[in-house]
């Protein structure tokens, strides 16, 4: 794979537009509920835990650890590793691991967010910290 993999542009909608606007500035956002204090991902306007509508955007550290992963050995666009990262702030997020040795990923390993371009807003991925 000599060419960079092409990722689909987010469609976005009124509920999530702020996430993608922040991504254009390299910021990885999560939502936090000011009623119950819980953070969640992906972002919703109504807190999925307490159903309060008092949710606010918060810039996350972009740091976390690998909860699990799986390396797809073959695909039309080459091998790729999917997984979940548990963010420092609490929520676990689905992602791909990039720009690192995919055969050496380990549960518990520290990772950090990186953005990859699309034809629209950039998408968040994670790489070994």
Partner 1 sequence: MTIKGKAYIAGIYEHPTRHAPDKSTAQLHAEVAKGAIEDAGISKDDIDGYFCAGDAPGGAWPMVDYLGLNTKKLRHIDSTETGGCSYIIHLGHAAEAIAAGKCSIALVTLAGKPRTGAMPPRAAGAEVDFETAYGATTHNAYGMCAMRHMHDYGTTSEQLAWIKVAASHHAQYNPHAMLKDVVTVEDVLNSPMISDPLHRMDCCVVSDGGGAMIVTTPEIAKSLKKPLVRLIGHGEAMKGPRGGKDLDLTYSAGIWSGPRAFEEAGITPKDIKYASIYDSFTITVLMQLEDLGFCKKGEGGKFVADGNLISGVGKLPFNTDGGGLCSNHPVNRGGMTKILEAVRQLRGEAHPKVQVPNCDLAIAHGTGGLLGVRHAASTAILERV
Query: With respect to partner 1, which residue has the nearer C-beta, 82 or 129?
Result: 82
Instruction: Give least dist CB 34 to partner 1, A.
Output: 15
CB 62 within 8 A of CB 112: yes
64: Cα separation from own chain's centroid: 10
Q: Could you say whether residue 28 binds partner 1 (CB under 8 A)?
A: no
Query: Which member of 18, 57, 63, 90 binds partner 1 (CB under 8 A)?
Result: 90
Q: Could you say whether residue 92 binds partner 1 (CB under 8 A)?
A: yes
1: tokens are 């794979």
**Is the C-alpha dihedral spanning 105, 128, 95, 45 positive or negative?**
positive
Residue 101's Cβ-count burial label (10 Å; 0-12, 13-18, 19+) is exposed
CA–CA dist 37, 82 (Å, integer): 29
Query: Which member of 68, 88, 110, 129 binds partner 1 (CB under 8 A)?
Result: 68
Instruction: Give least dist CB 25 to partner 1, A.
Output: 17
Interface residues toward partner 1, by CB under 8 A = 7-8, 10-12, 16, 20, 38, 40-42, 44, 48-49, 67-75, 80, 82-84, 86-87, 90-96, 107, 118, 123
């Amino acid at each position: 794979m000599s060419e960079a993999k092409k990722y689909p542009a987010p469609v976005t909608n009124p509920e999530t537009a702020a996430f993608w606007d922040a991504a254009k500035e390299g910021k990885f956002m999560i939502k936090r509920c000011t009623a119950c204090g819980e953070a969640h991902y992906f972002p919703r306007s109504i807190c999925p835990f307490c159903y309060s509508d008092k949710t606010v955007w918060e810039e996350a550290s972009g740091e976390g650890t690998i909860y699990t992963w799986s390396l797809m050995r073959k695909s039309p666009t080459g091998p790729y590793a999917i997984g979940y990262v548990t963010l420092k702030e609490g929520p676990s997020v689905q992602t791909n691991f990039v720009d690192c040795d995919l055969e050496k990923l380990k549960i518990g390993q520290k990772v950090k967010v990186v953005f990859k371009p699309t034809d629209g807003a950039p998408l968040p991925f994670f790489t070994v910290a």
